[in-house]
A = this chain, B = another copy of it.
């Protein structure tokens, strides 16, 4: 099977590198940024292009791993063929391919990827979807090369998973960013937080997050909260502090 990679960002890099290691042949990388395409192609030992029109038609599987807003721009410029076209996006319906090719689907690994950081794919949930049962099986087999956690999921449900992931990962990381800022502004190291961050993440493996909730907002401790608000450096930080605290308290009351 010949795989063509459309995109050379964080997800494209980590996914193609894992496929490559699993023995899958990547034949070409496309990125509109030539340097990115070249860099990834070098790692994978394949050719590359920065022109959609030059993407080979000889691929069996086309993995579109582009920013959501780039996908509708690039898609019409790739020559349609008999290969299976899939994207890796959480919120994008599978049907975006429908007007272009007969075989299409989705291969969505639920993880946060950075180019420089290797991740263990074996534990990553892969959500797959395809227009035909045959291609669903094919995607199951491909994802199964990397992970033990492959499951079919509709575009509707995948959107839900993606939204939840924005909270559990992207917003969580922003809380780390704010902690980092508060500490740095006062000459303290973010490393102090690491055991706390590790335990906060580990705790919800064993108990529902609502039961794991601690801190001044649970009992709406106005003294502490007022002092905290006064210590925060920007209006945005204060706004986040207030709205999150209010909601923590509300959920805690519901959970009593």
B231 and A236: CB pair below 8 A? no
Task: Give bound CA distance, A250 to B176, whole Å.
Answer: 15
Given contacts A170-B217, A173-B213, A190-B209, 19 further A-B contacts (CB under 8 A): A68-B223, A91-B224, A112-B200, A112-B215, A114-B203, A114-B212, A117-B206, A159-B231, A161-B188, A163-B182, A168-B175, A169-B200, A171-B244, A174-B217, A200-B201, A201-B201, A237-B247, A240-B244, A243-B243
Chain B residues near A164: list those with CB within 8 A. 178-180, 182-183, 188, 192-193
Task: Give bound CA distance, A237 to B192, whole Å.
Answer: 30
Indicate which residue in B180, B201, B227 contacts A197 across the interface (CB closer than 8 Å). Answer: B201
Number of copies: 2
Chain B residues near A116: list those with CB within 8 A. 207
Tell me if A198 counts as interface (CB < 8 A to partner B).
yes
**What 6 pairs between A and B have smallest CB-CB spacing?**
A170-B215, A176-B209, A201-B201, A168-B179, A164-B179, A167-B179
Tell me if A228 counts as interface (CB < 8 A to partner B).
yes
Whether A186 contacts B157 in the complex (CB less than 8 A), given A91-B224, A200-B168, comes out as yes
Chain B residues near A194: list those with CB within 8 A. 204-205
Task: Give bound CA distance, A115 to B144, whole Å.
Answer: 40
Indicate which residue in B68, B221, B239 contacts A68 across the interface (CB closer than 8 Å). Answer: B221
Indicate which residue in B174, B183, B199 contacts A247 across the interface (CB closer than 8 Å). Answer: B174
Tell me if A110 counts as interface (CB < 8 A to partner B).
yes
